Amino acid sequence: MKRYAWFIPALVLVSAVLVYPALRTLALSFFHMSLGNGFRLEFGGLDNFVRLIGDSRFQASLVETGFFTIVSVTIEFILGLLLALAVNGFVRYQGVVRTTLLVPWTLPTAIIAVLWGWIFNDQYGVLNELLIRTGLLRSPIAWLAGPNTAMAAVIIADVWKTVPFVFIILLAGLQRIPQDLYEALEMDGAGAWAKFRYVTWPYLMPFVFVSLTFRVIQAFAIFDLVYVMTGGGPGGATETVSLYAYQTLMRYLDLGYGSTIVVATVLLLAAVALGLYALLIRRYERLFQ
C-alpha cells in the first residue's frame, strides 16, 4: 500500500488535466450543446458523427491536413536523416554544429509564422528579392495569395522549424550504434551502402519510429503556424482540421460538434500511429529474429 501511495499525486494531476478533459470531450461529442440551443445539454447519439461525414468543410480540411502532413514530414525526415548522418561524422566542433542546428526548433511557432509571413510578402519579402536578384523570377510572386503557393509556403516554414527535431533524435540513434558492427562489416569488405543497409538503418529503426510518430501527430495537429500565416486562406486552401475545430468550438460556440471533430481526429491519428508501428517496428523485430 505504502509504495502505491506515491503514485497518488501524479494520478490526481494527470486525471485532472488529461483524463477528465479527454473523457468530457468524448462524452460531449454525442451531445448537442451550442449557442444555438442556449448551451443545453441534449443527447444526440450519433447525430454529430453523421453530420461530420457529410460536412464538406471537414473533408476539405482533412485533405489539406493530410497533404500537409505527408509532404512536410517526408521532407523533414529526409533532410533530418541526411543532416544527422553528416553531423555524426564530425569529430571536432560537433557540439557547436548541433546547437546551432537546433535554434529554429527552440523558437516559438507563432513568432516564426510572423517572420515567414514577412519573408513571403510580395512587396517587402526577402524571398522575392533573392529570386529576382538571382534571375530566377521576373516579377514578385504573392506567395500566400495562391492556394498552391500558400500551401508550399506553410510547408517550407514548417520544414525549417522541425528538421532539427528529426535531426537530433536520429543523431542520438546513430550514436548508440555499436562501432564494432561496422568494423565487422569492414572486415567482410562491405561498402558504405552495405553498412547503412545492414547496420545503420535497422539499428536506427526505433528512432525513426519515434521521430515519425511525433512528427505525424504534430503535423496533423498543426494550428499556430497556419493560423498566423494564412488564417486558413486563401479560400480555405490551407485550413487544417485543428483550425476548423478551433473555429467551431471557440468562435461558433458549438461545443458538441466541435468535440466530435476533435474525437474523430484523435481516432484517425491513433490509426495512423498504429499503422506506423506495424510498418516500422514489426518489420524491425523481424530483422532480428
Among positions 49, 51, 71, 146, the unique one binding another protein when judged by CB under 8 A:
146
Task: Choose between 221 and 281: whose C-beta lies nearer to another protein.
Answer: 221
Coil/strand/helix, residue 46: coil
**Measuring CA to CA, which residue among 198, 212, 199 is closest to residue 170?**
212
Going from the C-alpha of 204 to that of each of 69, 211, 256, the distances in angstroms are: 22, 11, 43
Least Å distance, CB 25 to another protein, is 14
Distance of alpha carbon 83 from alpha carbon 13, whole angstroms: 39
Binding residue (CB under 8 A) for another protein from 27, 35, 107, 267 = 35
Run of H or E residues at 32 = strand 31-32
> 84 or 237: whose CB is closer to another protein?
237
Q: Which of residues 86-115 bind another protein (CB under 8 A)?
A: none
**Binding string, residues 179-218; x marks residues near another protein by CB under 8 A:** ----------------------------------------
**How many Cβ atoms from other residues are within 10 Å of residue 89's Cβ?**
9
Does 53 help bind another protein (rule: CB under 8 A)?
no
CA distances from 206 to 70, 81, 169, 202, 253 (A): 20, 14, 10, 8, 42
Residue 31, H or E segment: strand 31-32
- Provide, rounded to whole angstroms, the least separation between the CB of residue 58 and another protein: 13
Contacting another protein (CB under 8 A), which of 47, 66, 75, 147? Answer: 147
CB of 265 to another protein, least distance (A): 19
Question: Would you count residue 17 as binding another protein (CB under 8 A)?
Answer: no
The cell 498566423 sits on which residue?
228
What number of chain residues touch another protein (CB under 8 A)?
Answer: 30
Smallest distance, another protein to C-beta of residue 275, A: 31
Q: Give the span between the Cα atoms of 99 and 248, in whole angstroms.
A: 40
Of 45, 108, 231, 275, the residue at the interface with another protein (CB under 8 A) is 231
Check binding of 251 to another protein (CB under 8 A): yes
Alpha helices in the chain (DSSP H): 2-5, 8-14, 20-28, 47-53, 56-88, 94-106, 109-119, 126-133, 147-175, 179-187, 192-195, 201-220, 224-229, 241-246, 255-276, 282-287
Binding segment for another protein among 12-20, 36-44, 178-186, 262-270 (CB under 8 A)?
A: 36-44
CB-CB neighbours of 190 under 10 Å: 16
Q: Is 233 in the site for another protein (CB under 8 A)?
A: yes
182 vs 252 by CB, closer to another protein = 252
User: Which stretch in 30-38, 84-92, 130-138, 205-213 sits in contact with another protein by CB under 8 A?
Assistant: 30-38
Q: Which residues bind another protein (CB under 8 A)?
A: 35-36, 38-39, 121-124, 140-147, 230-237, 247, 250-253, 255
